[in-house]
Amino acid sequence: MSNWTTVTEFLLLGFSDTWELQILHFVIFLAAYLAALVGNLLVITVVTTDHHLHSPMYCFLANLSILDLVSISVIVPKSMANSLSNTRTISYAGCVSQVFLIFLFCTADLAFLTIMAYDRYVAICKPLHYEIIMNSRACIQMAAGAWASSVIYSALHTGNTFSLPFCHSNIINQFFCEVPQLLKLSCSDAYRRELAALAFSLFLCLGCFAFIVVSYVQIFTAVWIIPSEQGRQKAFSTCIPHLIVVSLFLSTGIIAYMKPISDSPSPLDLLAAVLYSVVPPLMNPVIYSMRNREILAALRKLLHRLVLSKNNVSIFLS
């Protein structure tokens, strides 16, 4: 291919050439996708319907669940459709959309995780000033800033990537459009520009991680001097899930983007991509629900209301 205008589609990497294994891949991804769908929708529903959870922390958690829901929807359904139809193609426009949305949601994810660390810091280290600092206007501004900066950042990355001429091949050694794999297809030295952007992304991630670490050092210092054991447990119950989610998000992303890019399809590349694209959206609702008593209590109330309404409908119909 002489230049990027001749590229009308890309060929994605399949999990197997055997039809039975393709169906197995479809079933596994379908189960993971439905589990992530149900888990994140439950968190969103619980937070929006229970007035006890109408606080900044749970508002940000609902945003995080929305991000997990849409991020897994960008990648997994297309991969399942390809397995079911025994095809590997994705259109040029579809690939552009995937790259833009993946960067958008991953960047917003990191932004909200950082904001949530700041929210916990203010709540535990400056409890008397919490309502003043984390007022509704400040929360809306932080959320809007996270979304706006993510859109700009994603647009810059996507523009950098697809302004390059693709002439080596149109075969992407991954089951979705991943930027490092796309850079391998470029025949221009301008790919260094996008590599510099990816390096900046790494520094950005490390900066957010450093901010989160510093916040939690101060949080744990403040928690240890709380005289009440019940107070310490309550503080830990809201902090530990967030730390686990941050660790899962950053570790899987770093593994995927810091590993050497192989010249041929590798099971390790596929595994790393699955780790950061499927596992976090699937596990985040479980992590928050299992460790957070308020979420569990609100979830029990929601299920109780659903059971009662179902029984009332059954009695009415009978």
Say whether 243 sits in a helix, a strand or coil: helix
pLDDT of residue 230: 74
Beta bridge partners, 62, equal none
Express each pLDDT in 180-217 by its tens digit. Answer: 788 788 777 655 666 676 677 777 878 888 899 899 88
Which of 211, 216, 236 lies closest to 293 in space, CA to CA?
Answer: 236
Express each pLDDT in 179-190 by its tens digit. Answer: 878 878 877 765
pLDDT of residue 195: 67
pLDDT of residue 144: 92
Q: What is the CATH number of domain 4-293?
A: 1.20.1070.10
pTM of the model: 0.84
Strands (E), 82-199: 89-91
Which region holds residue 278: left if phi is over 0, alpha if psi is between -120 and 50, else beta? alpha
pLDDT of residue 101: 94
Q: Is the dihedral of CA 248, 140, 297, 311 positive or negative?
A: negative
pLDDT of residue 30: 93
d(CA 150, CA 157): 11
Q: Which residues of the chain have pLDDT under 50?
A: 1-5
d(CA 318, CA 316): 6
